[in-house]
Amino acid sequence: MSKLASGRIRLSAEEIYAHELSALAAGDKLARPANWRLSPKAIVTYILGGKAADGTPISAKYVGNRRLIETAVATLATDRALLLLGLPGTAKSWVSEHLAAAISGSSQRMIQCTAGTDENHIRYGWNYALLLAKGPSREALVKSPVARAMEEGTIVRLEELTRMGSDVQDTLITILSEKTMPIPELNDAIEAKRGFNVIATANNRDKGVNDLSSALKRRFNVVVLPSPATLEEETGIVVKRVLEIGSSLELPPIRPADEELVRVVTLFRELRDGKTLNGKTKLKSPTGSLSTAEAISVGVSAWASAAHFGDGAMTAESLASNLVGAVVKDPVQDTVALQEYLESVVRTRDGWSDLYSAIREVL
């Protein structure tokens, strides 16, 4: 069923890729860890793409190093938790969602950690009406996604782990090392079933906000997801994701736009690195992260502009305002950086004159 037909904007990974997951499960003869839907090998195929035993094609969800994904999956099969670390937009949340979908058949157990997250969000709260009527009891517990995942033996995802206070993070220590969550009010505990584990994500840029305590760090295996190494690799990811996202949003089809997306990625990489690709010109870097994820959003928005207001082809005009929006996060500093880049690089580059005028018009 298409997204629009179902009425929901976003379907979960396990819904979108249900056919791939069931094809993989049907042909999966290898041993599975307790309560896992698939064997570790089949999970790696689900993430990196390939073929199921019956020939069903499996799309690649993550483009990158196989070793990293193997390490991530192998970690989850042990009693250690997994921490995905990396710069913004390196697919940490994306990989975490797909891992949970493939391992547990559900990516829904998730906590978005913030400065306002407290221990009750990690453990449990109380339904006060029931608490007052009947006193403390199991029914009056409001279980957190962590508690529910422990009971079910599934994966729980903790997004942006280092955004919550260090003392709250440490609530996880007992859960990860003892696999139990005490409920002192009931003189009871929630015991984790086999298959329970945690996938946390954290952003390099937040380093120092609420550093992980060393006790907690020891309970996680860290897998660092790198930024794409080359222009070709990053363009490949952007082209693929723009096509996937645009089609799932049912945007009217437009003519292929690969060359335009190459320009977006080139501009992003040069500004991010503070120098041109050939290393000859030094540039000011804007304050934003200019991540792969943002390049993808620029592509999708440009597609929407081209489809609804243009002549059905992605052009410099449809890119320009979206590009400026992505680069200029601080109106003063970033405008200067982009203007300098425009004059010193874009103006003189072969075949970029249309982009030069289009950006100048909106800047």
Asked if 63 is part of the footprint of ligand ATP (rule: CB under 6 A), the reply reads yes
Could you say which of ligand ATP, Mg ion, none residue 105 binds, taking C-beta under 5 to 8 angstroms by partner kind?
A: none
With vertex at residue 137, the alpha carbon angle to CA 134 and CA 141, rounded to the nearest 5 degrees, is: 110
Instruction: Count the Cβ atoms, other than its own, within 10 Å of residue 285.
Output: 16
Task: State in angstroms the smallest separation of the CB of 307 from ligand ATP.
Answer: 20
* CB nearer ligand ATP, residue 184 or residue 208: 208
If you ran DSSP here, which 8-state letter would residue 274 be given? T
Length reported for the chain = 363
Residue 359's Cβ-side half-sphere holds a number of Cα atoms within 13 Å equal to 25
- The piece of 59-67, 141-149, 313-321, 331-339 that touches ligand ATP (CB under 6 A) is 59-67
- Copy the structure tokens of residue 24: 């993989």
Residue numbers 147-186 binding ligand ATP by CB under 6 A: none
The answer to the question of residue 363 lying near ligand ATP (CB under 6 A) is: no
Residue with tokens 């195929």: 45
111 lines the binding site for ligand ATP (CB under 6 A): no
94 binds ligand ATP (CB under 6 A): yes
> In the chain, how many H helices and how many E strands?
18, 11
The stretch near ligand ATP (CB under 6 A) out of 3-11, 276-284, 290-298, 335-343 is 290-298
What distance in Å separates the CA atoms of residue 9 and residue 256, rounded to the nearest whole number? 25
Region 232-261 residues binding ligand ATP, contact defined as CB under 6 A? 237, 241
Would you give the DSSP letter of residue 47?
H
Q: Identify what 303 binds: Mg ion, ligand ATP, none; CB under 5 to 8 Å per kind.
A: none
Choosing among Mg ion, ligand ATP, none, which partner's interface includes residue 341 (Cβ < 5 to 8 Å by kind)?
Answer: none
- Degrees, nearest 5: CA angle 324-330-334: 60
Q: Which residues bind ligand ATP (CB under 6 A)?
A: 62-64, 86, 88-94, 201, 203, 237, 241, 292-293, 296
